Amino acid sequence: YAIQGYEDVAAEHLLGIFGNPIKHTLSPVIHDTLSDALGLSERYVPFCVKDEDLSRCVKLAYDEGVLGLNITVPHKQHVMESLVNVDIAAKTIGAVNTLVRVEGGYKGYNTDMPGLAKALETEGIALKDETVIMLGAGGAARAVAYMCVSYGAKQVYIVNRTFARAQAIADDMNAFTEKTVVQAVASEDYQSIPDGKYLMIQCTSVGLHEGDGMPFDFGDAFYAMAKAGVDLIYNPAQTPFLKEMAKLGVPAVNGLKMLLYQGILAYELWNNLKVSEALTDKVYLALQD
């Protein structure tokens, strides 16, 4: 079994990512930079995998000896059916982005959530006792909600176009802890959120495509309630949400550091090692090239 361009890489040194589409992934930069710096012969390969091929590809990768995999859109939920075990946090989030080779198959983890928490920490944003407004209630938002709850946020509002999706996440999180109050808000009811200063996290997919506007036209007065802003999107680097934050003078970051740290954490799991801060900085520079 040979992959074009990687014929000289032994399967046990192969890492990869399954997604669709997958053309624009930056993950190979993260993992190949790490392997080069650490003198490991591992290589990281993107694979475009269709829904109907997912379970077969996971099995094939395991049988061939592939060391580890990342899983991205649209497979983060479905892949769980093809795993021998799922880490408890990933199970609660309901999404897996990292497969680690164990006896008999792969075990699933979610490094997006701790990756984002680490990224926020490096930006000086603490979640403990924080009040948060999340925009969006899709798969990525679910991991963010779980992060807010795990790190002890006080109150989280989840605003979404489709109320039922926000409500489903809020119900799951409120069942999980009493420390954080999670409230679903239909986007047309955004004015029900009390005046205050919030950490605002943009979790919708709006902003990914050229010509996208703001996810919601709530006006400057609403967005000025942000004391800090985060957009999960990293490509483009400047989204309409981040431009709005800049216009209002609110400090804000895009999703590149989250991408960085979810990758570092996955690499640490695959290789059972700790990546130094100096090497992390080096990878971050490589990502910005």
Q: Rounded distance, CA 103 to CA 98, Å? A: 16
The residue (of 155 and 204) whose beta carbon lies closer to ligand ATR is 204
Give DSSP secondary structure letters for 168-195. Answer: HHHHHHHHH-SSSEEEEEEGGGGGGSPS
- Nearest Cα neighbor of 166 from 197, 192, 196 is 192
85 marked ligand binding residue: no
The residue (of 240 and 263) whose beta carbon lies closer to ligand ATR is 240
User: Per rule CB under 6 A, is residue 254 in the interface with ligand ATR?
Assistant: no
Q: Taking contact as CB under 6 A, which single stretch among the options 23-31, 155-163, 241-249, 264-272 is the one that binds ligand ATR? A: 155-163
Tell me which of 76, 107, 118, 257 is the catalytic residue. 76
What is the Cα Rg of the chain in Å?
19
CA separation, residue 265 to residues 33, 66, 109, 173, 286 (Å): 14, 18, 10, 24, 17
153 marked ligand binding residue: no
- Nearest Cα neighbor of 285 from 35, 34, 43, 68 is 34
108 neighbors 130 (Cβ within 8 angstroms):
no
User: Per rule CB under 6 A, is residue 115 in the interface with ligand ATR?
Assistant: no
The residue (of 43 and 76) whose beta carbon lies closer to ligand ATR is 76
User: Per rule CB under 6 A, is residue 140 in the interface with ligand ATR?
Assistant: yes
User: Per rule CB under 6 A, is residue 91 in the interface with ligand ATR?
Assistant: no
Known catalytic membership, residue 76? yes
Residue choice 91, 154, 161, 282 for contact with ligand ATR (CB under 6 A): 161
145 neighbors 201 (Cβ within 8 angstroms):
no
- 98, β-bridge pairs: 70, 109
- Number of residues forming the site for ligand ATR (CB under 6 A): 15
User: Per rule CB under 6 A, is residue 22 in the interface with ligand ATR?
Assistant: no
Q: Taking contact as CB under 6 A, which single stretch among the options 109-117, 132-140, 238-246, 263-271 is the one that binds ligand ATR? A: 132-140
The separation between the first and the last C-alpha atoms of the chain, rounded to the nearest angstrom, is 33
- The vertex-25 CA angle with 48 and 83, nearest 5°, equals 55
User: Per rule CB under 6 A, is residue 78 in the interface with ligand ATR?
Assistant: no
Give the nearest distance from C-beta 114 to ligand ATR in angstroms.
18
Q: Taking contact as CB under 6 A, which single stretch among the options 96-104, 154-162, 190-198, 236-244 is the one that binds ligand ATR? A: 154-162
User: Per rule CB under 6 A, is residue 165 in the interface with ligand ATR?
Assistant: yes
Q: Rounded distance, CA 83 to CA 61, Å? A: 12
Run of H or E residues at 45 = strand 43-48
Residue choice 108, 115, 215, 263 for contact with ligand ATR (CB under 6 A): 215
- Catalytic residue numbers, as ranges: 76
Chain residues binding ligand ATR by CB under 6 A are 73, 136-141, 160-162, 165, 204-206, 215
Q: What residue numbers does the annotated binding site for NADP(+) cover?
A: 136-140, 160-165, 232, 255
